[in-house]
C-alpha cells in the first residue's frame, strides 16, 4: 500500500520525505487555507520535494472553470494530480482531464455507487472519506471493503482506492488488510505509526546490555 501525506505544511512534508517512505501528497482548499499561503506557490514547492503524485484541487464547481483551473494547476509540474469533487461537473472534468493523459483524484466519495461512477469516468484515484462516515455513525472502513471488492470484480476498472479522512492507526492497518491501494495520512498519524511501548522497552534493554559489555562498534 502506498502512503500519501495529507497536508500543505512544507516543513512536515520535507521531514517525512526524508524517510524515503512518502509516495505522494494530497492537499485540499482547507489545507491550503490553513497554510496561509498562495496555492500555486505551495503546490510547486511540494512537487519539488516529492517525486510522486501531488493532488491539487480545483475550487470551481462548474465544468468550464474546472477545466481552466486544472490547466493552470497542471502547468505547475509534471507530477500534479488534479483533484475534483464527486459531482456531475467534477466527473465530466475527470473524463476530460484523464483523456488528456493527466492523473485525476476524485474526492468526497461516500458510497460505492459514487465510486463506480468515478471509475467509469476514468479516475486515477477515488478518495472515500472514512473518518467523516464514522462521525455520522457509519463504519467508514466498510465502504473501503465494498469498493475494493467491487473494483476487483471488474479488471477493466483500474482506479486506485485512496483512503482519506484517516483518523487513527487502526484505519491504516484496516486499509492495508482490506487491500486499498493508497492511504493518505495526516503527518501525526505517520509519526505515531513508529511508536510502540514494546519497541521502546526492547531497545532500552538492548542498550543497557550493550553498555555492560564495554564494547564499541566504531
- Mean pLDDT for 126-155 is 97
Give me the CATH number covering residue 20: 3.20.20.70
Distance (Å, rounded) from C-alpha 204 to C-alpha 200? 6
Q: Looking at the domain assignment, is residue 112 inside a domain?
A: yes
Q: Looking at the domain assignment, is residue 149 inside a domain?
A: yes
pLDDT at 94: 98
Residues of the domain holding 76: 2-213
DSSP annotation of 84: E
Q: Looking at the domain assignment, is residue 218 inside a domain?
A: no
2, 44, 72, 83: the active-site residue: 83
Give the chain's mean pLDDT. Answer: 97
* Band of residue 146 on the pLDDT scale cut at 50, 70, 90: very high
Place of cell 516529492: 50
Distance (Å, rounded) from C-alpha 25 to C-alpha 7? 7
pLDDT at 159: 98
- Mean pLDDT for 96-114 is 97
- Mean pLDDT for 17-28 is 96
**What does 89-150 look like in DSSP terms, one character per residue?**
HHHHHHHHHHHTT--EEEEEE-SHHHHHHHHHTT-SEEEEBHHHHHHTTS-HHHHHHHHHHH
Distance (Å, rounded) from C-alpha 67 to C-alpha 118? 17
- Mean pLDDT for 191-210 is 96
User: Is 83 labeled as catalytic in the residue annotation?
Assistant: yes
- Mean pLDDT for 177-186 is 98
pLDDT at 90: 98
How many domains is the chain partitioned into structurally?
Answer: 1
pLDDT at 187: 97
Residue 152, CA distances (Å) to 50, 78, 98, 158, 165 in order? 29, 29, 21, 9, 23
Amino acid at each position: 500500500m502506498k502512503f500519501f501525506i495529507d497536508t500543505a505544511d512544507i516543513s512536515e512534508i520535507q521531514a517525512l520525505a526524508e524517510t524515503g517512505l512518502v509516495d505522494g501528497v494530497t492537499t485540499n482548499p482547507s489545507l491550503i487555507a490553513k497554510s496561509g499561503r498562495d496555492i500555486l506557490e505551495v503546490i510547486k514547492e511540494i512537487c519539488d520535494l516529492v517525486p510522486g503524485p501531488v493532488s491539487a484541487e480545483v475550487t470551481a464547481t462548474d465544468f468550464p472553470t474546472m477545466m481552466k483551473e486544472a490547466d493552470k494547476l497542471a502547468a505547475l509540474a509534471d507530477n500534479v494530480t488534479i483533484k475534483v469533487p464527486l459531482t456531475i461537473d467534477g466527473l465530466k472534468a475527470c473524463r476530460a482531464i484523464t483523456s488528456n493523459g493527466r492523473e485525476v483524484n476524485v474526492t468526497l466519495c461516500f458510497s460505492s455507487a459514487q465510486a463506480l461512477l468515478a471509475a467509469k469516468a476514468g479516475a486515477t484515484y477515488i478518495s472515500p472519506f472514512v473518518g467523516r462516515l464514522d462521525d455520522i455513525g457509519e463504519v467508514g472502513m466498510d465502504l473501503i471493503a465494498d469498493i475494493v471488492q467491487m473494483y476487483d470484480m471488474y479488471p477493466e476498472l483500474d482506479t486506485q482506492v485512496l483512503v482519506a479522512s484517516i483518523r487513527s492507526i487502526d484505519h491504516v492497518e484496516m486499509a492495508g488488510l482490506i487491500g486499498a491501494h493508497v492511504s493518505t495520512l495526516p503527518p501525526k498519524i505517520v509519526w505515531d505509526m513508529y511508536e510502540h511501548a514494546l519497541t521502546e522497552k526492547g531497545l532500552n534493554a538492548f542498550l543497557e546490555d550493550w553498555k555492560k559489555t564495554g564494547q564499541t562498534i566504531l
